[in-house]
Structure 1
């Protein structure tokens, strides 16, 4: 390597600043926090070791087993990267929606293996979801037809449906929350998923997944074919994601989710391949086009899903209310605020006013109308928007990494990343010159 990398745990100055709030993780970089003298300026880039990829595969996802309070926690990195749980929380790593894990925290080329794995998980999750729901519906119908035989048998049938739904992968948990109280909607969703399996979305993701697997097997081969596939998939999935009009509808959100995750992976793959072969300017130009479009899509969804018929609750700050304290962490709320245009630029006084209005609404007598189904929908919305915000931040920080590679005048991004012999963990790279 032409520059030194070091483990994050070996830098007490940065750790102290993260803990006291003067620095903040944003995507794959650490920046000076707002309110500091150098607010927004990059302090360090983050990169994961190649060996971490395989270990991440062994971590469980966050299915809906055990109640909604664990939904969307995603992967707990702190055990693998050697940082204290407190620091993991400060860095916002304790509740990242699993969908956002399609991009690993760092920018290592070795992350391709993990990207490919996550794409496979998307397909696998859809398969599990379809099979589980269809099997559950069949048993539920049989139970309903035999309702005269006793309520107990019906309850057993319903329990089996619930148990089968528990295998849904974490990045699709919001689907369960959105439709769990609507059997007719569940049946409609099952049909939509069946159709989705035959759609071009899955074909394109499968093509990119195959290319990533090939890249892993033959890392020293020419990247031309990989670049062509990544570019094609990026263009197709971006078009699919952009043309969809946001709405709180499970079927629509599922289709968009697959398109957006695939778009993010394809974009990151193409950019990283360009950086690996030293085409820094091309990578910067690609990201300069894709990142703003991605952010715009994220903000459109933020506008739509944060909106509520109660104007006082039409704010991302509703997720900060104590009503959700067991389900939505502070860092998740902060990430959602980042893609909420109506909340992102508020002054401290306006923020406090928003929070006060939310508190009042939740304590009013009419708040009893906000039942468990409503609460489930809010948790689902929070997870969905968190995914969009985190992906947006990671793609944005990839722009900064491309600028770093160019400023160092290196032939390949591999030269400034931890190699295969590096100790497993989270490394920091110096800022742009």
Structure 2
């Protein structure tokens, strides 16, 4: 069957132009029309480094010198661009990285006799192994039975890590983001099982339900990181690192109707109050940024904490950007599932999409899946 899709390694001129003039925007793993929200392109990574420490800003370098530069993202995300390239092996790798980060955090928390329970990560890894084995079985009935067992374990992980995330957010913890990311992986692993079983409707429903759970908690966490006085991110010492545009993008995720002028007006009085009494902000700072019980270990009681706290703010802003990018990528996975159903193809055929005549150019990091006409899909991002 001939599909109404163009699959290419080349960035079309009209897409590059739309991204440049602002008529198109990238949201997660899709490019869409700003005004109509119709999807015009899906992005699929090709041979990129899967490490969460990989600077995915490399995707924004000159992918095709003759086509110009597509600024995809300067933000590190735990999720790939496209559900089709984040299988169980990639999820397992991400999970191990999160577990290692929590183990590193445990070393600091030992100073206050607080323990992190990482035992559930072993159960999550076992569920992923079960899913991998399920989809290598030849008998359909065995495959489905094992897949459903894995799904039950992923459901259990979702409940566990939702509870962990809620606890850490309530405590304004510095490890809340690790549990939120783990929760994202649990929902993704479950939905991926349904996709492998070609249960598109169920996969879409689980993505939608997971988006509600994850989005609301990331929103709470970002409000913590913005602190009682977000104008602190606009201090003169951050010139060249943080500008109003970056802060505005954070606010626009919380409320898409805001622009730079509105955000600046919101911070006018905050800037004045910060200059008038900077110590007041220090006293109210969230433990998600600075926890005196943990971060003050080994410091003299007369030391001034402000320089160390301020030094953390650029990294804190990066954490917010990363969480937002991860959430957008998770939500954009829904459009792939919707497209598969609307186009009437299987998930496995979607996975096999590749340019029929093109040879992959050296250095090409992305493949573009372009529908013959923009697709009107249920808004989710």
Normalising by structure 1, we get a TM-score of 0.65
Change (3 A) 1:328 1:285: same
**Alignment partner, residue 170 of structure 1:** none
Change (3 A) 1:199 1:119: closer
Greater than 6 Å deviation, 4+ residue runs: none
The equivalent position to 2:43 in structure 1, one of 42, 46, 49, is: 46
Gap runs ≥5 in structure 2: 283-305, 377-381
Change (3 A) 1:20 1:326: same
Name the Cα RMSD after superposition.
3.7
Change (3 A) 1:229 1:300: same
**Alignment partner, residue 7 of structure 1:** 8
Q: Does the Cα contact within 8 Å between 1:109 and 1:276 map onto a contact in 2?
A: no
Change (3 A) 1:296 1:104: same
1:266 Cα deviation from its structure 2 partner: 1.6
**Alignment partner, residue 93 of structure 2:** 117
The equivalent position to 1:336 in structure 2, one of 246, 250, 260, is: 250
**Alignment partner, residue 74 of structure 2:** 94
Q: Which has the higher helix share?
A: 1
Aligned mates of 1:237, 1:81 — CA distance in 2 = 39
Change (3 A) 1:242 1:124: closer
Q: Does the Cα contact within 8 Å between 2:208 and 2:334 map onto a contact in 1?
A: yes
The more displaced of 257-266 and 198-207 is 198-207
**Alignment partner, residue 391 of structure 1:** 326
Q: Which has the higher contact order (CA 8 A, sep 6+)?
A: 2
The equivalent position to 2:159 in structure 1, one of 224, 228, 235, is: 235
Gap runs ≥5 in structure 1: 63-73, 134-184
Normalising by structure 2, we get a TM-score of 0.72
**Alignment partner, residue 145 of structure 1:** none
Q: Does the Cα contact within 8 Å between 1:237 and 1:259 map onto a contact in 2?
A: yes
Change (3 A) 1:19 1:374: same
Q: Is residue 381 of structure 1 aligned with residue 316 of structure 2?
A: yes
The equivalent position to 2:53 in structure 1, one of 58, 61, 79, is: 61
Aligned mates of 1:80, 1:113 — CA distance in 2 = 27
1:205 Cα deviation from its structure 2 partner: 3.6
**Alignment partner, residue 84 of structure 2:** 108
1:202 Cα deviation from its structure 2 partner: 2.7
1:324 Cα deviation from its structure 2 partner: 2.9
Change (3 A) 1:299 1:82: same
What SS does structure 2 have at the residue aligned with 1:257? helix
**Alignment partner, residue 157 of structure 1:** none
The equivalent position to 2:183 in structure 1, one of 263, 273, 276, is: 263
What SS does structure 1 have at the residue aligned with 2:181? helix
Aligned mates of 2:131, 2:6 — CA distance in 1 = 26
Q: Does the Cα contact within 8 Å between 1:8 and 1:15 map onto a contact in 2?
A: no
What SS does structure 2 have at the residue aligned with 1:6? strand
Q: Does the Cα contact within 8 Å between 1:48 and 1:108 map onto a contact in 2?
A: no
- Which string of whole-angstrom CA distances, capped at 9 and with x for unpartnered residues, describes residues 240-259 of structure 1? 324544454xxx231x2232
Aligned mates of 1:214, 1:361 — CA distance in 2 = 59
